[in-house]
Chains A and B, each alone.
Chain A
């Protein structure tokens, strides 16, 4: 016969006492597991809620950014087209050219060297972006007996110190012709049709829609061919330039800069609507950016509020846990201690005779502490199981935890929580042993002679 047999038989004999001890330990274990579960579930729920909010916000913002970017791109494209349609907002003319001629007839008569465009392109000019050397002259189309404005252009002269930009006006290839609205309407021209112009063959490449300006009576051809037709080899009438970065009135600055590079020229402003549209574009972009910034700020504030609310909730739960857990542990210790002392009192006679039979102090301690350890193991395991089941129920049906993905699975994947589950039975055993220690010590210290004499 062994001491463990004595322990198990005594437990079987006094089931209620043992059951109450197990219950007290189990309650303490449940409190530990449940409190840890609630606190960890809070943190997990917070992460999940904030992540969802963050993702939602980012999605909204991304959509907003996409919309703003698309709107900006649309606007930019529209502006580019508008500008192209409107012409150029800066025109460099020979100094002796009367601008009134251009306004009255749409044509120019004074010339300047074609190399001026290259000189400007090679310079470090900052105020203009696109340069187009042109000849521009009102002529009679001899083959059609029709007055037209001949516009010779060779495409953009690259600004050597800048990165290449998308050209606002495409060059007209040699042998090609772009025809204004009135002209192709009068002559019934079609794209791809061959026409003769000053004895040269041209293919109609583009037919412009109606613009309501001198463009409607203009023919665009390659600059060199136009120079040959007009007898203006190596000469041009004007350099057309577009000032793209022109927020505000900078014409005087442009004039000053060009005068330094091309003396003997003058600069006149053309189609200032381009400036207004550029400003509108800038303003639209600003408004969109401000709107986006406000949206981001509002989202950040919402997230911050949510985070603060969750932090407050977590703090409340932690405070409750900090009060409840020690209280429950204390009550459990007290309950187990009282039950153990009662057990010792009931077993005075038994202890006396066991001592008379030769049981050592350590063996008497073993009998009582062994029982406590057993109640700790059973109570601890029971508490963990009940705590888990309770936690499972709570995370499924109660509280503000998200229910789409059970938190218990996430909790069980957390090493910290697994540690709590594993350490709780150990702690329960320690708790039961500590609570029973005084009673066991009292039993071991009991004087057999006193008991046996008392009987």
Chain B
């Protein structure tokens, strides 16, 4: 099992004393090669679930296992490295670093990893550059390597973010509304890339409003008020 969530609970405590139960006893299993889409209304807990699975939001209770390891039992630094090695993220807002070029934004995914991890020996940096270029070429950005994010269209930015998420060859790709700001053509490119990743042995957990987007998934789960619903 690549990803397993067992009885996850997460409650947000507001400043005024109010509480919001974001996740209520959520359990999920995801194997390698699977593409799972989670749909639901805004505020239903989809993003919380994604961040919890992404080792960025510790649950109040329950267990998260990725590749059989419990990241929330790790130290903060170890968990960060684990995240860099095992997970890839794609967000609706792209979150590209504005002062880095397209190529550098993709390569930024390597910063967190120790030299040699996920690459080959002393030529690691060249390998990274080659792989980043190949990914960008694959996503139609081969001629935009030196451009900054502000010089790209929304679709191009998301494709750049997707290339960044894939650079470290993660086991699990977590996508939060990746087509939310894209036109149908770019949405299709992104969804096709996610599908290909899953087909290549990776696992994809997609959170989306978009019904069209969920059609690319093997399995679609519906969420409401912090719970999966039938």
Contact = CB atoms under 8 A, between A and B. Distances in A.
Nearest to A358: B84
Contacts of B83: 356-358
Nearest to A367: B111
A349 B89 CA distance: 14
Given A360-B76, A452-B56, A453-B47, A1 B110 contact: yes
A9 interface: yes
10 contacts: A14-B99, A352-B95, A356-B54, A357-B83, A357-B89, A357-B111, A359-B80, A359-B84, A360-B77, A363-B112
Contacts of B92: 455
B91 interface: yes
Contact of B77 (A354, A356, A361, A453): A361
Interface in B73-91: 76-77, 80-85, 89, 91
Contacts, number: 93
Nearest to B93: A455
A13 B98 contact: yes
Dominant secondary structure of chain A at its interface with chain B? helix
Interface of A: 1-3, 5-6, 9-10, 12-14, 349-350, 352-363, 448-449, 452-453, 455
Contacts of A5: 104
B152 interface: no
Interface string B188-217: 000000000000000000000000000000
B26 interface: no
B108 A9 contact: no
A362 B77 contact: yes
B51 A449 contact: yes
A349 B161 CA distance: 14
B111 A1 contact: yes
B38 interface: no
Contact of A455 (B56, B77, B91, B112): B91
A452 B100 CA distance: 19
B66 interface: no
Given A9-B99, A358-B112, A1 B77 contact: no
Interface string B144-179: 000000000000000000001000000000001000
